[in-house]
Structure 1
């Protein structure tokens, strides 16, 4: 199915809304515009975001800042070892007074689902999210229920070396469009954070700057953005390069290639451009692909990280053709 390319007015509206969401989030997240930009990109691409780092660096705050910047329904899940799948998806109960069964939806029935410390839950509970994240639906007691759209999971996790954590299954990691690491703030950003939070929590004063209709429009415009055939070929070449690298025993899946292109379109739309550049793909290659890849035994023994290997793949993969082709019927700029 061929979709009409977005108009200049639609793209400008999307860029303006994305900038407003970023500005709202940055009143809470100090000194990390790159993290905020990637988070908004995943929202616009209707993906899911995995935030990984040590406790106390602001992973949950980042997720809450996104949820409060958009006027939408929010579900919160605190993952623990004793959490059951039905605690996420919901449960069917029998109403004796009515002589009928009633479905009580769980926290996944929301536009933005914040999953805190996802890798503290058992693999069985983690797997309850697979259907939700891939198909925006969940099946309980043989009945399938559609989840609200847009549907975005922002999950946080501690490094697997820490006490009481389970490694996420490969299938679940592949469902996340991007993974980011918050890291420690700079000295200046940390001082600014202390000043902002000295008297009150800035999250309590954060007001929504966009509604569900805005988010749906951002997703629609991003999906319709123009990507030249050579850009699509470049995405496939990057994915194929990870599958054939001897330093990796698991390369990027076709789902990863699809999500890399979607993220690149959203990134370009947020920048106010009507086309995707190879630079967009390169910028997003590591956060979109790295968490899906597994190092080979040789890589582990030689001390090569997945990120190092991925950067090498990006460095040797060339853009074929003219990736900066003009849009059909007009000259692209930027």
Structure 2
């Protein structure tokens, strides 16, 4: 994994809160651009995951970041949750902020939520950008990639769940980062604040793992989404994501694909300038009716 930039300065603007779907959600709206852009973080994370790229986006957008339910400053409810609730929260937040139609960018589990929103509520969207959604139901049955995922599920992910259940949140987070998401030795290279966030949000990852529908999507509903879509990946990411993105490109009529050179699963953290440039370039050439100036 490339070196991670831990020096990004978070916005000094305070978090705001809204109650949607019975849960208190913390969010931040930055910039006064005419076009809304909502950023959806992945598992273990928080709205701070996007701090490295927000400064490059606010000249052009009203940028909304938020902590998904169960993460950091948002409320964590007891009982089994679901990704359907995350999708409903995202829809409700867009509606509360009168941000529709909005661009939505999602990473990892946040990309899963973004794709589900496109399938369920396309009228809320101008277009979407998704990076490496772990939609393992899209892997071809019997393929080497499906076998590789099943090995991870039985091995490191099962051990991550066991450690969280035993209260070893730090050990679980380190194992997930090094053995599942980013590669050996990555945990020690993460900024200290990000490591703390992972540890704090470990219980919600266990909740996600116990959601039987967390890694699935209604392919027929998704195929009816006709807005612009950018599917992104990193050339240093686990190869298991490639067939997922290939299948998504087959399903989505207006999908484009981009690969981040030298990046892995979190390019907005490791390669923020490239991330902003590619996202801006895509949105500029899409049929959104919005003129944006893509700058390196």
**Structure whose CA Rg is larger:** 1
Which TM-score applies when normalising by structure 1?
A: 0.27
